[in-house]
Structure 1
Amino acid sequence: MPSPAAVTTTLPHSGIREIVDLALSLDTPLVRLEIGEPDFPTPANIVEAAAAAGRRGASYVQASGIPPLRGALAEALGRRYDLDVPSSRVLVSHGAVHALDSVLRAVVAPGDAVMIPDPAWPNYEMQARLLGAEVVHYPMPAERGYLPDADEIRALVTPRTRAIVLNSPSNPTGALLPRHLVEEILRIAVEHDILVVSDEVYDEIVFDGAPVCAASIAPDHAVSVFSFSKTYAMTGWRVGYALVPEWLADPLTRVLESSISCLSSVNQAAALEAITGDQSAVARMREAYRARRDLAVGMLTEAGFDLVTPRGAFYLMVPLADGADSRAAALDLVTRGLSTAPGSAFGQGAPHALRLSLAASEESIRTGVGTLIAWHRETAGGLALEAETVRR
């Protein structure tokens, strides 16, 4: 019989999805803080715009996105980051994950090197490895506030380095890269003619400081990727977009054509209403996430945890005891009625930590954090777990 490509048999499953699948398989009540799924409904005006588009009739449209949406996105980016952006540099994708994957496909060949942060959302590494690229991790340790060091990144660059992935605000840490640091990394990219692929999907969920659009600083050497999923509670609608260099627009369009033909015209109508309509829901959700962050950080700090307070996104990294196995901890917590994401799912940089998603209700966060605090005390921060938990 035919056999799968070798890379697909060695590609690890997502450590986040392991917990998600386990949570979905249980019939018992569970406080779910393992996945970044906003608990808010998609605003009604967006849903109605989609319904109206559906009644008019869905059809094939341009692979790079319908012109009204691309124009509206260019205008919105211009207002947000004080830019003069032509719509030709804005391409629409099937969610941000599709934009990230398509950009890498457009510039990375087998044997090239792709630099990604550690800890980081695991899909970056999965996408690079599927392309036959070498993955090079640059560290973002907790003791540095989960921020990278530009000199460390520079030292890791080789003639084979084709792309550097940034993510700010960060999943899983909530860290927000300051402008001067983004500028330093972009200088490295320009010097070595490398493309920076900047995942900025949480750019409108920032609590302290301001987001930085990498593509606005080095327009020929950076791609900024955005999404409607988190900003507008539209995860299931699967609409993302990217601000790309002019030289990349046509190659990237070819990749989009080959992978999805085009994004649903109904979903693009919803996105058009989201970006041009009433924005008050965005501010309300952002303030709710801020309150949830403050609640979780306050409870854990009072209980004696040493935390790095996230400045954006809706995630919080909670340290376990040194030497504790985060996967074992996450599996054990599910039996206690709480699902979290193990730090090991995000690389080697946070093996003794758990990621909490603060996209759940305040009641769920209060209950879940209380469970975590009690569990932490009972298990000595996870060190007292039995070996059987690890083997599951």
Structure 2
Amino acid sequence: MKFDIYEFFSELSKNKAKIRMDAGDPDIEPNDVIINELIKNIKDLGYAPYKGLDELRDIIAEYHKVDIDNVIITPGSKAAISSLILFSKKVNLISPYWSGYEFSANLFKKQVSIINTKFEESWEPDFNKAENDATLIINYPNNPTGKVITQKKVKELIDISLEKNLTIVSDEAYRDIVFDGFRFKLTDFILQNSVSVFSFSKTFSMPGLRLGYAVGDKQLINKIGEFIKANITSVPKFSQRAAIKALEMWESIADQVKNTYYKRLTLFLNKINNKKFVYIRPSGTFYVFLKLNGLSGTELAYALAKKGLGIFPGEAFGREFENFIRVSLTTKEENIPLAAELINESVEELDVGKYIN
């Protein structure tokens, strides 16, 4: 069964799915201080500088230990990554990968090369397989696997990037949600021919504001700026004022969010039927990537949609992952045991049906 994300959303809507563990849409409420700052500034609807407010860029520059000219505020992290794909000759992706990268590459008619990783090798990437003279998009902690790479692996990546003339684009949307390993930001290792991209959507639960930032090589930051000037003009000032307030509470909010998702992860893994699934315990993010024993993840996703539960099949992250599902832990704790029960039950039904047919 071929998976189409938009048809699947229609299926969830048709079945009035009450438990949504499909998209990475955080359910944790934003901090009231941030919301109050947003409300306070909502009437400030004039244009902002295309690179963002200097007050916000200064805070980010200090955090990354770079010059303000190495920083740009973006309308979500997706726009920053998409703009860098636009200016690339060809793109390297590491599978499994978030489908948005491929959408952008196809839209801009870019050549895409896939670096495959394997469940049996704990999703460890071989950066030597990257095509020369290309943009390499990395995403750690990883969506959908939750993998976190080591400092040794990052240093290996940098050596290879210099040898192969790679532009590294590091999608760090889940940077703060690390349970095991270190909080990786590329700017701690390299600035040359690289960009680190962050989103306010996941840590701060503000996806609707479409707010992110990019830090890196000034030439690449300027390319993102050209994209913004040509297509968006600027990010709203009220969003950026809220972001300033968010960053003032960054560590405390990040800790709270990380602890909440870790508690949900533990609860889910304790309830899921380990005889029907195998998985590598996520080291970060709020996702679990589960492998099914000979069953279609897409069939399971549609079966669960009929029962009012949304999850994503592995096909959404690469065609070779048809026997996987991704569960997003973006639902209240009380929903997780029921969700696990529905998943276990539906797998059992499909498994029995396979032998009957």
Match of 1:10 in 2: none
* Structure 2 counterpart of 1:58: 45
Q: CA deviation at 1:384?
A: 5.9
Q: Give the whole-Å Cα distance in 2 for the aligned partners of 1:74 and 1:140.
A: 34
Q: Could you give the per-residue CA deviations for residues 326-374 of structure 1, whole angstroms, max 9, x where no partner exists? A: 2222112211222110100111342201000012111212111111112
Partner SS for 1:230: helix
CA shift for structure 1 position 218: 2.1
- Classify the secondary structure of the residue corresponding to 1:54: coil
Partner of residue 357, structure 1: 328
Q: Where does residue 67 of structure 1 map in the other structure?
A: 54
C-alpha separation in 2, matches of 1:216 and 1:14: 38
Q: Deviations over 1:265-317 (max 9, x none)?
A: 11111111111246423311210100111111222265553211000000001
Distance 1:365 1:18, change over 3 A: farther
Report the 3-state secondary structure (helix = DSSP H, G, I; strand = E; otherwise coil) of the residue aligned with 2:138: strand
Pairwise CA RMSD of aligned residues? 2.1
170, 173, 177: which one pairs with 2:149?
177
Percent sequence identity is: 27
Shift of 1:21: 3.1
> Is 1:157 matched with 2:154?
no
Alignment partner of 1:222 is 2:194: yes
Length-normalised TM-score, structure 1: 0.86
Q: Kindly indicate whether the alpha-carbon contact (under 8 Å) linking 1:15 and 1:342 is maintained by their aligned counterparts in 2.
A: no
Distance 1:136 1:207 in 2: 30
Match of 1:96 in 2: 77
1:22 match? 11
Name the SS of the counterpart of 1:68 in structure 2. Answer: helix
Answer whether contact 1:120 1:347 (CA < 8 A) is retained: yes
Pick aligned residue for 2:306 from 323, 335, 354: 335
In 2, Cα distance between equivalents of 1:385 and 1:343 = 25
Superposed CA offset, 1:226-277 (max 9, x none) = 0110010111111011112022232321111111000111111111111124
SS of the equivalent of 2:219 reads helix
In 2, are the aligned partners of 1:15 and 1:344 still within 8 Å (CA)? Answer: no
Alignment of 1:371-386 (within 5 A): 371-380=342-351, 383=354
Q: Could you say what secondary structure the match of 1:370 adopts?
A: helix
Q: 1:35 aligns with which of 23, 34, 45?
A: 23
> For residues 172-204 of structure 1, what are the alpha-carbon distances to aligned partners after superposition, in whole Å with 9 as ceiling and x for unaligned?
111111121122122111112210111111000
Post-superposition CA distance 1:52-106 (Å, at most 9, x none): 1124x221011111110111112233xxxxxx2111111111111111112222x
**Whole-Å Cα distance in 2 between the matches of residues 150 and 300 of structure 1?**
33
Q: Which residue is equivalent to 1:4?
A: none
Q: Letter of the aligned partner of 1:123 in structure 2?
A: G
User: 2:200 aligned with 1:200, yes or no?
Assistant: no
Please state if 1:146 is matched with 2:149.
no
Which stretches in structure 2 are left out of the alignment for 5+ residues? none
CA distance in 2 between counterparts of 1:375 and 1:235 reads: 31
Q: Tell me if structure 2 keeps the 8 A contact 1:163–1:196.
A: yes
Contact 1:33 1:356 in 2 (8 A): yes
Contact 1:139 1:349 in 2 (8 A): no
